[in-house]
Amino acid sequence: MSGCAGPAFAAEEPVDAPAAKRIAKEGAGLRTAIFAGGCFWGVEGVFSHVKGVKSAVSGYHGGTAKNAKYSVVTTGMTNHAESVKITYDPYEVRYDELLRIFFSVVADPTQLNRQGPDVGSHYRTAIVPTNEEQAAVARAYLAQLERAAIWDRPIVTRIEPQRTFYPAEDYHQDFMAKNPRHGYILRWDRPKVEALKAMFPRDWRADFLRDGPPGA
């Protein structure tokens, strides 16, 4: 089974990103959002523990259907990013709160075309709004983070236009829940989940939300 890289790295320290000044006004009904933050195992793992998230599916965003498969995406030649598509209830967790969690415990926005041990454009960090409200909130929050100068290096995370999202292979779905003792999970992703629990207790859900692509 192929998977994310796993050198002897340790997870970086989480960052206390500020609450967003531009609050998302999304109304009633479920919404979707797409986040790219390096290997999708950890991105999915964190958001699967967030209250209000109803679905978290690992997949590929930014390229075409023809080569939206792991063996090809990981060559870095397809323009896809390993991503997670989230369905959430904004009455329980707003989009701006999801952004704060993303930048606090999921991804380092200063690493260009990589996250930790994983290198390549398919491991880039990106925010993919699915409606105009999300886009406005994302632009405002990135500007807020740049002014706050939390990181020593420039923020390279970009807002990308929404394209078709392609669910990843079944073995990538719920990977953390299925493989809790996997070396990569223990070194790289488990600390992110623990940081979520410690830093966002009101958003923390102990149970892992198991999900997967339709028909998986």
For 180-205, the pLDDT digits (tens) are 999 999 999 999 999 999 999 999 99
Query: Is residue 39 annotated as a catalytic residue, yes or no?
Result: yes
- Structure confidence at residue 61 (pLDDT): 98
Give the mean model confidence (pLDDT) for residues 120-135.
98
Average pLDDT, integer, range 158-181: 97
Helix 40-47 / helix 190-199 crossing angle, nearest 10 deg:
30
> Which of 3.40.630.70, 3.30.1060.10, 2.40.50.140, 3.40.50.1820 is the CATH number of 31-198?
3.30.1060.10
For the ranges 7-21, 42-56, 80-94, 125-139, the lowest mean pLDDT is seen at 7-21
The reported pLDDT for the residue numbered 5 is 60
Whole-angstrom distance, CA of residue 120 vs CA of residue 142: 23
* Percent of residues, the chain, with pLDDT higher than 90: 91
Identify whether the C-beta of residue 124 lies closer than 8 Å to the C-beta of residue 55: no
Sequence ranges of the domains in the chain: 31-198
Specify the 3-state DSSP secondary structure of 37. Answer: strand
CB atoms within 10 A of CB 2: 9
| Confidence at residue 211, expressed as pLDDT on a 0 to 100 scale | 76
Catalytic residue, candidates 39, 46, 86, 101: 39
User: Residue 215's pLDDT is what?
Assistant: 37
Q: Could you tell me which of 127, 120, 114 has the C-alpha nearest to residue 160?
A: 127
Residue-wise pLDDT for 6-55, tens only, equals 544 445 689 999 999 999 999 999 999 999 999 999 999 999 999 999 99
Question: What's the pLDDT score for residue 13?
Answer: 82
3 pLDDT above the threshold of 70: no
Give yes or no for a contact between 78 and 122, defined as CB atoms under 8 angstroms apart: yes
